[in-house]
Amino acid sequence: MPCIGGMRILFITLAVFLAVVSTDARSAERPPQFVAIAFDNCTELERWKELSDFAAAMNKGGDRLHFTFFVSGINFIADADRNSYSSPMGRGVSRINFGGTLADVRRRIDFADDLVRHGHEIASHAVGHFSGKGWPAETWRKEFGAFADVLRHAARNNAIDPADMPDLPARATGFRAPYLATSPGLYATLKEFGFRYDTSGDSLPDAWPEKTDGIWRFNLARLKLHRSARSALSMDYNFFVLQSGAITDPRRFEFFRDQILQTYLDYFRANYSGNRAPLHIGHHFFDYQGGAYKEALKSFAREVCGLAEVRCVTYSKLADYMDGLSADQIAAFQGGDFPKLVEPGADVARVPANRSAEAH
């Protein structure tokens, strides 16, 4: 009998041991390197076209790159129909321009529609580009209500026959605040309107996302500029301010472009061979510094998107992935508790450390 009891204890011990090992094995699996590239405002029609074409070329031989577009709802209301927008500051009031002519609005809707059908994401940058710093939940509610209305009733708001104009994608589940200006009232409201994630915050470059109050926080990263002690948030406008004091200087275009490309590659290499925290890069449709940042971003995407273990995806896809992880797995990833690619393998070696941006 003692022998059978001993066997039983041995079996139980073994079962517990195996359970622990298999849990470890699961958390020890190396996560993919996510790269999330997003744009704010999304006004300029030539940029809608340029980015649609760029993504289509990147995805020709298979899915390599999908963008998230945080659109300002105002882009989808023609100047003439400005009074269809009831803003927190009054009817027909916005901090940025309305959408232009009806034809401009129509073209923007067609681009957005086509991009969504090709796997890109339309998310929210609110409507009138106001700073929501200090806004109570009630004001956010008004603005989110107006955004939902813009998505659902683009045709009606622009006083045209719905049969003549497609509506925008029905619902946005991601948000980035204008000026990244937030308030406690924002986070109380996001869930109410069906949002899954917010991208208005900032973190260290190797921070894995956290879910707070049911909302994933996909924060921009504070990046050290390549070969510089200075740092900025991972956004084109912030680089523009840091590199040049927001003054366009065509003589230094190549320097600015290459420094940001190398900054992005530093960020990528550190995370790819480190704890694999997702990368967050935020740009605008406006060509700051004569397009230096746009060129850097395109070169970066060409270099890394499509490499083994790299997923250049929309924020919704990143949210799907994060939803599938346990808190223990996220903690293990944060701690880098998995076999890393310590030696830059063939994939990372393909990323040249000192190459200038390609001219296109």
Residue numbers at the binding site for Zn ion (CB under 5 A): 40-41, 178
CA distance 204 to 277: 10
CA distance 88 to 182: 15
Q: What are the Cα distances from residue 108, in Å, to 44, 74, 94?
A: 9, 11, 18
- String of DSSP letters for 31-92: PPEEEEEEEEE---HHHHHHHHHHHHHHTTTS--B--EEEE-GGGGS-GGGGGG-EETTEET
Strand partners, 175: 124, 198
Tokens standing for 267?
A: 């960020």
| Cα 192 from Cα 310, distance rounded (Å) | 33
Q: Tell the smallest beta-carbon distance from residue 297 to Zn ion (Å).
A: 17
d(CA 203, CA 80): 41
In angstroms, the Cα distances linking 129 to 73, 78, 96, 222, 236 are 9, 16, 6, 23, 18
Nearest residue (CB) to Zn ion, 149 versus 236: 236
Residue with the CB atom nearest Zn ion in the bound state: 40
User: Measured from the CB atom, is 45 or 80 closer to Zn ion?
Assistant: 45
Query: Minimum CB separation from Zn ion for residue 304, in Å?
Result: 25
- Least Cβ distance, residue 41 to Zn ion (angstroms): 5
Closest contact distance (angstroms) between CB of 40 and Zn ion is 4
In the complex with Zn ion, the residue whose CB is nearer, 40 or 295, is 40
CB of 177 to Zn ion, least distance (A): 8
Shortest separation between residue 300's beta carbon and Zn ion, angstroms: 21
Query: What is the CA angle 248-205-203, rounded to 5?
Result: 90
> For residue 178, which of 209, 221, 147 has the smallest C-alpha distance?
147
Cβ proximity to Zn ion, 69 vs 300, nearer residue: 69
Q: For Zn ion, give the closer residue by CB, 34 or 130.
A: 130
Nearer to Zn ion, 125 or 217 (CB): 125
Closest approach, Cβ 74 to Zn ion, in A, equals 11
> Is the Cβ–Cβ distance between 166 and 109 less than 8 Å?
yes
